[in-house]
Chain A
Amino acid sequence: NAGVTQTPKFRVLKTGQSMTLLCAQDMNHEYMYWYRQDPGMGLRLIHYSVGEGTTAKGEVPDGYNVSRLKKQNFLLGLESAAPSQTSVYFCASSWGQGARYTFGSGTRLTVV
């Protein structure tokens, strides 16, 4: 089925550990986004990409890095995890401005 796939679905990290979240889409979308969702805060944009090889900072980029080496994949990295990064992370993709977003099923990350 066409859509956005996120891996892993759940992860527990110790403070200071690193990890990479993978987002893959098969809709040939140019634009991809990483959001975090915390209780009562809605979804906040971490980083985004407007095409292969490009990335840009969103509203809450500190502590995260991203890469888009292939058009279909958008990676989110945490170099040194902190408890404040405990959250649910959603990836989304779209055709561009004015186009609907398709979201992945999310990654629930806990940092202890």
Chain B
Amino acid sequence: QQPVQSPQAVILREGEDAVINCSSSKALYSVHWYRQKHGEAPVFLMILLKGGEQKGHEKISASFNEKKQQSSLYLTASQLSYSGTYFCGTERRGGGADGLTFGKGTHLIIQP
């Protein structure tokens, strides 16, 4: 079962903030966040691990609520370069490294 992302799409003005949410029905070991620009490969942004550890990008923050199996990605003072599709990927608890399950993505458009 894919995690559910919301919203599906966001249009912002440069400098505005955005929050993207990711929710899973499974007990999770970690949540990953990637950004993909059109025609390119997904690029790593952030990992949030069970227990609270975060690894990733300096200018982007995220949270992971282990009780609710939910994660949120926070983009502050957005720049034009933030445009793209954001995917969360989840690793289930007890699954080892059997692959990330990705959400369907959130399209973010930043306008000048």
Assuming the A-B contacts A98-B47, A100-B47, A103-B42, are A48 and B103 also in contact, with contact meaning beta carbons closer than 8 angstroms in the complex? no
Instruction: Name A42's contact: one of B55, B96, B102 (CB within 8 Å).
Output: B102
Q: Are A43 and B42 in contact (CB under 8 A)?
A: yes
Is the C-beta of A50 less than 8 angstroms from some C-beta in chain B?
yes
User: Which A residue sits closest to B104, measured CB to CB?
Assistant: A42
User: Which B residue sits closest to A41, measured CB to CB?
Assistant: B104
As a 0/1 sequence over residues 50 to 71 of chain A, the CB contacts with chain B under 8 angstroms (1 = contact) are 1000001011000000000000
Which residues of chain A from 73 to 110 have any CB-CB distance to chain B below 8 Å in the complex? Answer: 90, 94, 96-106
Is the C-beta of A13 less than 8 angstroms from some C-beta in chain B?
no
Is the C-beta of A22 less than 8 angstroms from some C-beta in chain B?
no
For the complex, what is the distance from the CA of A30 to the CA of B41, rounded to whole Å? 20
As a 0/1 sequence over residues 19 to 48 of chain A, the CB contacts with chain B under 8 angstroms (1 = contact) are 000000000000101010000111111001
Is the C-beta of B112 less than 8 angstroms from some C-beta in chain A?
no
Q: Are A106 and B41 in contact (CB under 8 A)?
A: yes
A56 contact set on B, CB distance < 8 A: 98
Q: Are B41 and A59 in contact (CB under 8 A)?
A: no
Instruction: Name A90's contact: one of B32, B41, B97 (CB within 8 Å).
Output: B41
Instruction: Name B44's contact: one of A33, A43, A96, A101 (CB within 8 Å).
Output: A101
B21 to chain A, nearest CB (A): 15
Assuming the A-B contacts A42-B87, A97-B29, A97-B91, are A102 and B100 also in contact, with contact meaning beta carbons closer than 8 angstroms in the complex? no
- Listed by A's residue number, 24 A-B pairs whose Cβ atoms lie within 8 Å are A33-B99, A33-B100, A40-B104, A41-B104, A43-B42, A43-B89, A43-B100, A45-B99, A50-B96, A58-B99, A90-B41, A94-B97, A97-B30, A97-B91, A97-B95, A97-B97, A98-B30, A98-B49, A100-B44, A100-B47, A101-B42, A101-B100, A102-B44, A103-B34
Residues on B lying within 8 angstroms of A by beta carbon are 2, 29-30, 32, 34, 40-44, 47, 49, 55-56, 87, 89, 91, 95-105
